[in-house]
Amino acid sequence: MEENTKKTVLSCIQPSGALTLGNYLGALKNWVAMQEEFDCTFAVADLHAITVRQDPQKFRAQIYSTCALLLALGLDPEKSTLFIQSHVKSHAELMWILSCYTQFGELSRMTQFKDKSAKHADNVNLGLFAYPTLMAADILLYKPDFVPVGADQKQHLEIARDIAIRFNNIYGDVFKVPEPYIPKVGARVMSLQEPTKKMSKSDENVNSWIAILDKPEDIMRKFKRAVTDSEARVCVGEGRDGINNLIGIYSAVTGKTADEIALEFEGKGYGDFKIAVGEAVVEELRPIRERYDTFISDKKQLEDIYKQGAERAFYTARKTASKAMKKVGFVL
């Protein structure tokens, strides 16, 4: 009975590259914690990933890898639903219906479309433009109470809410209008080389970001090369973006406050602190890498988990999509 009283949450992540320490501390760590409080649905959003050209072989491997990594992080298929987006056909089906209730002007104002169009000027495709409508379908199919969002996804949740309200105003109570979920704990992790920019796997400088699956020696090397400043004092300060970022990472991993960290490293230089941050991150990520190796090496177990997840997801998604189709007037 307790299971039925839980609020529902939906989160999706693209299998488009190595997940970073920023992804882990900013969002994924919270996904694991949310399983205890919410009824969670997690999707590997492979349909979204093809708005940018993918090498088929690498793309397929990355989908497997993302599933294995999410399990290694602690997503429990007994507590949550984990599936691959393209395995539930209702996503594409509902996306087309919602496209007919999404205004061209709304999509043209989306900042992420403008940013990605600039980065991929040779491939400004319809999928890239209509991306938010597919995201709206992802969300509305499962009638979640909450959707965890960062600053870069807030606009997408807003348009999903607008589409749901517009559809409901025409046809009645079809979609639940979800609320944004702001995690209680989450770190905004910046680039190790340009600490005014968010850590990103798309950064060409590999020393600027830490992948969750990086080897310990690579993690240590990147932290030793991290940009700081000439003050050589471990404490938070205005305009001290590099050291503030390292303190934030160390705090997120160890649970220590900025004041406690400043006291711990009083009289010590940046070299000592960078080593301490690197070692703390290595130990935080070590069990994840070990569990990942177990999951990725057992493809049968991995397939069983995401196929069972797709069956559970389809049961919910089909009901929502069918209701929307009936309201529009389709013959089912």
Among 43, 124, 42, 114, residue whose Cα is nearest residue 85: 43
Q: How far is CA 321 from the centre of its chain?
A: 24
* Element holding 233 (H helix, E strand): none
Residue type, 214: D
The span from the CA of 228 to the CA of 274, in Å, is: 10
Cβ atoms within 10 Å of 166's Cβ, excluding its own: 16
Residue type, 172: G
116 counts as catalytic: yes
Identified catalytic residue from 176, 201, 224, 323:
201
Residues composing the chain = 332
Identified catalytic residue from 29, 143, 198, 222:
198
* Element holding 39 (H helix, E strand): strand 39-44
224 counts as catalytic: no
Query: What are the structure tokens assigned to 39, written together?
Result: 């009824």
DSSP letter (8 states) at residue 175? S
299 counts as catalytic: no
The span from the CA of 222 to the CA of 227, in Å, is: 10
Contact 42, 15 (CB under 8 A): no
Query: What are the structure tokens assigned to 98, written together?
Result: 């919602």
Contact 236, 247 (CB under 8 A): yes
Identified catalytic residue from 29, 116, 143, 274:
116
Distances (CA, A) of 31 to 7, 37, 121, 212, 318: 14, 10, 34, 15, 25
* Element holding 214 (H helix, E strand): none
Cβ atoms within 10 Å of 222's Cβ, excluding its own: 22
Provide φ and ψ at 74, rounded to 5°. Answer: 125, 5
Which residues participate in catalysis according to the annotation?
116, 198, 201
